[in-house]
Amino acid sequence: MKPANALPVAAAWDVSRVREDFPLLGRPMRGRPLVYLDNANSTQKPRSVIDTESRFYAEQYANIHRGVYLLSQEATVAYDRARARVARFLNARSDREIVFVRGTTEAINLVASSWGGANLGPGDEVLISAMEHHSGIVPWQMACEAKGASLRVIPVDDGGELILEEAERLFTPRTKILSVIHVSNALGTVNPVKELVAMARARGVSVLLDGAQTISHRAVDVQDLDCDFYVFSGHKLFGPTGIGVLWGREELLDAMPPYQGGGNMIELVTFEKTTYAPLPFKFEAGTTNIAGTLGLAKAIDYVAGLGYDAIAAHEQKLVDRLLAGLSTVPEVRLIGRPKERVGVFSMTIDGVHPHDAGTILDLEGIAVRAGHHCVQPLMARFGVPATIRASLALYNTAEECDALVAGLRKCVEVFRG
């Protein structure tokens, strides 16, 4: 049944067919159809990804890069092919530029610790933005504290966009690296990263881009972006948890010291000295998430099969529909109205705490995030302790947008009564 005041349903791609690929979307929630709108937090997994991981453990499992027996060799080949798939996906120049990590957080920590440890010194500056996720703030704070450097922050305007004039002013001769989120996990803002990279390039400043929120919505070409590091997490790309990617320019990665020590990242160990393995193994100490890596490659295949242009067209219809629907609930305040965005919306409701709203929506079968979304400085910038965040993905529908609007209206009614 359509919610009251629902808008007409626009023509869309075959979203019902897409949804069939995601088993969990068919699960009822509290006796209602599940409306999953927490995709900026983590995306659901298609059956092909689930089956790939399950099959590996059931039929193919062995450790990699260690055994001479056939099973280990087969697992090694599959793992190496997954790395090559990620390299093609990002248009990396070489497989050696792809480092597997646990996720975006570990990738940024790796760069902040290894690159930062080797390149930052007293008085140097790290430039980030006011909309960074905590994983784009805290690792750089730690690196600055360790090296006597300082953190500078590009401000955000009332519309939820970076102020480029201020960014230009904040670059100084002491700026060593710009680390900025590509797409905001709280506001959905698509940042003008190519302009920011050009500013940095003109000054000889290195650039890290956080693509955690980009990778499920838009194609990424690291050579076209001209950055030095690009990072993302598998679980936000319809892939497994516990796997992510650090792409880095080969010459930079080659010059950086190891992040962790142990097996797999060495060539020769003696009690007097250790020599390290070549890229990318220098940064992959211990047994990595082999099954997760294969699942990530399969997730990339899945998204590539649908096509980013088709995904973007479908999601834009949902964005337009949800914006129109939200405008019919005057008590809802949307935080930020960027000119270019993906389907991530943070909002408050007059007189309703976000956690209460999240609970009411949950009773309707609607899954959203309520909290500070790991962007407490950004929440402070907009004068709110927390928001309700709804985030869209390729399997969401126009009817689900309408259900959210109806759920928000119910939140108003509950607290008004």
CA atoms of 160 and 176, how far apart (whole Å): 26
All residues at 6 or more sequence positions from 288 whose CB lies less than 8 Å from its CB, including other chains: 64, 79, 100, 264
Place of tokens 């990396």: 92
- Residue 153 pairs in a beta bridge with 128
Separation in Å, CA 326 to CA 89, 121, 400: 35, 48, 13
Beta strands in 102-149 (DSSP E): 125-129
Question: Is 144 one of the catalytic residues?
Answer: no
**For residue 416, how many other CB atoms are within 10 A of its CB?**
10
Place of tokens 């305040």: 333
Residue 175: in which H helix or E strand, if any? Answer: strand 175-181
Structure tokens at 309: 């242009």
Residue 278: in which H helix or E strand, if any? Answer: none
Contact 264, 79 (CB under 8 A): no
Q: Is the preceding omega at residue 280 within 30 degrees of 0, hence cis? A: yes
Q: Which amino acid is at 402?
A: D
Place of tokens 């996906």: 89
- Residue 126 pairs in a beta bridge with 151, 177
Q: Which amino acid is at 347?
A: M
CA atoms of 85 and 233, how far apart (whole Å): 15
Q: Nearest Cα to 179, choosing from 230, 127, 217, 225?
A: 127
Identified catalytic residue from 227, 374, 401, 411: 374
Q: Nearest Cα to 40, choosing from 404, 409, 388, 294?
A: 388
CA atoms of 292 and 396, how far apart (whole Å): 25
Structure tokens at 152: 């500078």
Q: Please give the DSSP secondary-structure letter assigned to residue 135.
A: G
Supply the angle between the helices 398-416 and 354-363 in degrees, to the nearest 10.
120
All residues at 6 or more sequence positions from 350 whose CB lies less than 8 Å from its CB, including other chains: 331, 333, 412
Q: Give the catalytic positions in this structure.
A: 374
